[in-house]
Amino acid sequence: MEFNFANRISYLTASEIREILKITEQREIISFAGGLPAPELFPVEEIKKVSQIVLEEEGTKVLQYSTTEGYLPLREWIADRMNSRLGTKLLPDHIILTHGSQQGLDLSGKVFLDEGDIVLCESPTYLAAISAFKAYGCRFLEVPTDDDGMLPDELEYILENTPRVKMIYVIPDFQNPTGRTWSLDRRKKLVDLAMKHKVMVIEDNPYGELRFEGETLPSFQSFDQTGCVVFLGTFSKIFCPGYRIGWVAGDPRVIEKYAIVKQATDLQCNTLAQREIAKFLEMYNIEDHIDKIREVYRKRRDLTVHTMESEFPAGVTFTRPQGGLFSWVELPAQVNARDVLERSLERNVAFVPGGPFFPNGSNENTLRINFSNMPEDRIVIGLHSLAEVLREFI
Amino acid sequence: MEFNFANRISYLTASEIREILKITEQREIISFAGGLPAPELFPVEEIKKVSQIVLEEEGTKVLQYSTTEGYLPLREWIADRMNSRLGTKLLPDHIILTHGSQQGLDLSGKVFLDEGDIVLCESPTYLAAISAFKAYGCRFLEVPTDDDGMLPDELEYILENTPRVKMIYVIPDFQNPTGRTWSLDRRKKLVDLAMKHKVMVIEDNPYGELRFEGETLPSFQSFDQTGCVVFLGTFSKIFCPGYRIGWVAGDPRVIEKYAIVKQATDLQCNTLAQREIAKFLEMYNIEDHIDKIREVYRKRRDLTVHTMESEFPAGVTFTRPQGGLFSWVELPAQVNARDVLERSLERNVAFVPGGPFFPNGSNENTLRINFSNMPEDRIVIGLHSLAEVLREFI
A3–B contact, CB cutoff 8 A:
yes
Local structure of residue B176 (DSSP, 8 states): T
Answer whether A52 sits within 8 Å of B48, measured CB to CB.
yes
Alpha-carbon gap, residue A149 to A190, rounded angstroms: 9
Residue A69 has pLDDT above 70, yes or no: yes
Answer whether B39 sits within 8 Å of A64, measured CB to CB.
yes
Confidence (pLDDT) at A361: 85
Mean pLDDT over A92-107 rounds to 98
Residue A252 has pLDDT above 80, yes or no: yes
* Residue B154 CB neighbours (<10 A): 13
Mean pLDDT over B200-207 rounds to 98
CB proximity under 8 Å: B 302-321 to A: none
Mean pLDDT over A359-366 rounds to 93
Alpha-carbon gap, residue B59 to A242, rounded angstroms: 11
Contacts for A133 with CB less than 8 Å, ≥ 6 apart: A105, A108, A109, A113, A119, A140, A167, A169
Alpha-carbon gap, residue A172 to B169, rounded angstroms: 43
Of B270, B256, B260, the residue nearest A16 (C-alpha): B260
Closest Cα of chain B to A128: distance in Å?
A: 6
> What CATH number has the domain spanning B44-283?
3.40.640.10
Contacts for A237 with CB less than 8 Å, ≥ 6 apart: A37, A206, A207, A209, A210, A293, A325
Closest Cα of chain A to B13: distance in Å?
A: 7
The pLDDT mean for chain B works out to 96
Closest Cα of chain B to A338: distance in Å?
A: 21
Alpha-carbon gap, residue A146 to A161, rounded angstroms: 21
Share of chain A above pLDDT 70, in %: 99
Banded pLDDT at B13 (limits 50, 70, 90) = confident
**Helices of type H across chain A:** 16-26, 44-62, 72-86, 100-112, 127-134, 152-161, 184-197, 252-266, 271-283, 286-311, 337-346, 376-393
B183–A contact, CB cutoff 8 A:
no
Share of chain A above pLDDT 90, in %: 93
* Residue B137 CB neighbours (<10 A): 19
Alpha-carbon gap, residue A198 to B368, rounded angstroms: 44
Mean pLDDT over B240-256 rounds to 97
Banded pLDDT at B14 (limits 50, 70, 90) = low
Q: Which residues from chain B sit within 8 angstroms of residue A98, using beta carbons?
A: 266
Question: In this predicted complex, what is the ipTM?
Answer: 0.96
CB proximity under 8 Å: A 152-171 to B: 166
Confidence (pLDDT) at B5: 96
Confidence (pLDDT) at A14: 67
Residues facing residue A327 across a β-bridge:
A369
Answer whether A3 sits within 8 Å of B243, measured CB to CB.
no
Q: Which residues from chain B sit within 8 angstroms of residue A66, using beta carbons?
A: 242
Banded pLDDT at A25 (limits 50, 70, 90) = confident
pLDDT single digits (tens) A300-349: 999 999 999 999 999 999 999 999 999 999 999 999 999 999 999 999 99
Alpha-carbon gap, residue A206 to A84, rounded angstroms: 17
B48–A contact, CB cutoff 8 A:
yes
Residue A18 has pLDDT above 90, yes or no: no
Q: pTM of the prediction?
A: 0.97
pLDDT single digits (tens) B295-325: 999 999 999 999 999 999 999 999 999 999 9
Answer whether A260 sits within 8 Å of B39, measured CB to CB.
no
Strands A139-143 and A118-122, by their bridges, are parallel
**Helices of type H across B29-183:** 44-62, 72-86, 100-112, 127-134, 152-161
Confidence (pLDDT) at A62: 95
Structural domain boundaries in chain A: 7-43+288-393, 44-283
Alpha-carbon gap, residue A133 to A116, rounded angstroms: 11
Of B40, B27, B46, B8, the residue nearest B283 (C-alpha): B46
The pLDDT mean for chain A works out to 96
Confidence (pLDDT) at A28: 84
Closest Cα of chain B to A320: distance in Å?
A: 26
Lowest mean pLDDT among B1-15, B31-45, B206-220, B240-254: B1-15
Residue B139 phi/psi, 5-degree rounding, is -115, 160
Same fold, B8-43+288-393 and B44-283: no
Mean pLDDT over B123-148 rounds to 96
Q: Which residues from chain A sit within 8 angstroms of residue B259, using beta carbons?
A: 14
Residue A214 phi/psi, 5-degree rounding, is 80, 180
Of B174, B181, B382, the residue nearest B297 (C-alpha): B174
Written out in words, the top-level CATH class of the domain with range A7-43+288-393 is: alpha beta
Contacts for A351 with CB less than 8 Å, ≥ 6 apart: A31, A32, A33, A337, A341, A344, A367, A368, A369, A370, A386
Please enumerate, as own/partner, the contacts of A23-26 that have beta carbons within 8 Å and a separation of 24 or more. A23/A345, A23/A350, A24/A350
Among B176, B270, B277, the residue to mutate for chain A (most A Cβ within 10 A)? B270
User: DSSP 3-state assignment of B326?
Assistant: strand
By C-alpha distance, the chain A residue nearest B109 is: A6
How many C-alpha atoms does A218 have within 13 Å on its Cβ side?
A: 15
Our CA angle for B287, B292, B294, nearest 5°, is 90
Confidence (pLDDT) at A67: 92
Residue B361 has pLDDT above 90, yes or no: no
Confidence (pLDDT) at A20: 77
Of A228, A238, A104, A121, the residue nearest A175 (C-alpha): A121
CB proximity under 8 Å: A 262-291 to B: 263-273
Architecture per CATH, B8-43+288-393? Alpha-Beta Complex (3.90)
Lowest mean pLDDT among A194-198, B16-20, B118-122: B16-20
Residue B136 has pLDDT above 80, yes or no: yes
Residues B136/B115, Cβ–Cβ less than 8 Å: yes
CB proximity under 8 Å: A 96-155 to B: 98-100, 102-103, 106, 110-115, 128, 131-132, 134-136
Residues A365/A337, Cβ–Cβ less than 8 Å: yes
Peptide bond into A124 cis (omega under 30): yes
Which string of DSSP letters, residue by residue, matches A158-196?
HHHH-TTEEEEEE--SS-TTT-----HHHHHHHHHHHHH
Query: Shortest CB distance from A48 goes to which of B9, B47, B52?
Result: B52
Residue A16 has pLDDT above 90, yes or no: no
Local structure of residue A11 (DSSP, 8 states): G
Residues facing residue A120 across a β-bridge:
A141, A168
pLDDT single digits (tens) A262-296: 999 999 999 999 999 999 999 999 999 999 999 99
Closest Cα of chain B to A280: distance in Å?
A: 14
